Structure 1
Amino acid sequence: MDTFELNPQLARDCHRLGRLPFSELLLMDNAHYPWFILVPRTRETELYRLEPALQAGLMTEVNRIAAFIDKHQPQIEKLNVAAIGNLVRQLHVHVVGRHSADPAWPGVVWGTASRTAYSRAALAALRASLNAARLPGFVAHPDSP
């Protein structure tokens, strides 16, 4: 795909953290959860239809983000990984850290009324941790004001 456009709903709901070799890395603007979203640069809407190299690369990136959450969020009891796409058709994979004290536990995080935006300080700290993790091929997106 020559040009990549992020779905407007994802752009509204998330912070754009940067670019990985196969996907764009986003953070859902809900500080209740470490909730990352990887959006592969493709027009395809189904995971199983991706070319094998893109599918493998995306899954490697999903695993790296899951490991990042596991390392930097010791309270996390369970990592949820999903590619639903009912509301936003653009293929995207959620990687969400969960724990029994989070507001939606044990239910799903989608559509919950409990939402708290990241503070500038918390977002800056998360960006710094992500940059320090030196994920292979990660290029940080310029910080927004």
Structure 2
Amino acid sequence: MTKFLLSVHVIAAIVAIGPVTVAASMFPPAARKALETPDDPGATGTVALLHRICQVYAAVGVAVPVFGLATGSAMGVLGDAWLITSIVLTVLAAAVLVLLVLPRQGALAEGRGTRETTVRLAMFTGIFNLLWATVTVLMIVRPGSTTGA
């Protein structure tokens, strides 16, 4: 059962978190272009599409920590420092996404933003991506693991 849970956890991370990090990273430059050319339906359409991708995959991404906790429980490592650190970083990443990234994307997608909004959004997106990259490294390296990594 552990291998199944771990497989679903990893697949969910790839399928859900990957698109959010890519779409969120593409959003600020697309939003700047849309601000510069407000009459370009392609530019505004791209911004709306990227925001929708982030929203949908963020919701799907809830499966990642759910299956991660189930896997950690099955492996008996819920009390390990590396996993607790990963959980804290995951909560921080989710908070950055929900409280800082998605609302700014929404404002820009609705035409209620400025270039300054895109700059701050790029910063918050970078923080979100850095948090997820750190969690990924912790999941691979797992201090004290028996994989030899």
Give your verdict on TM over 0.5: no
Structure 1 or 2: more strand by fraction: 1
Bigger radius of gyration: 2
- Normalized against structure 2, the TM-score is what? 0.30
- Normalized against structure 1, the TM-score is what? 0.30
Structure 1 or 2: more helix by fraction: 2
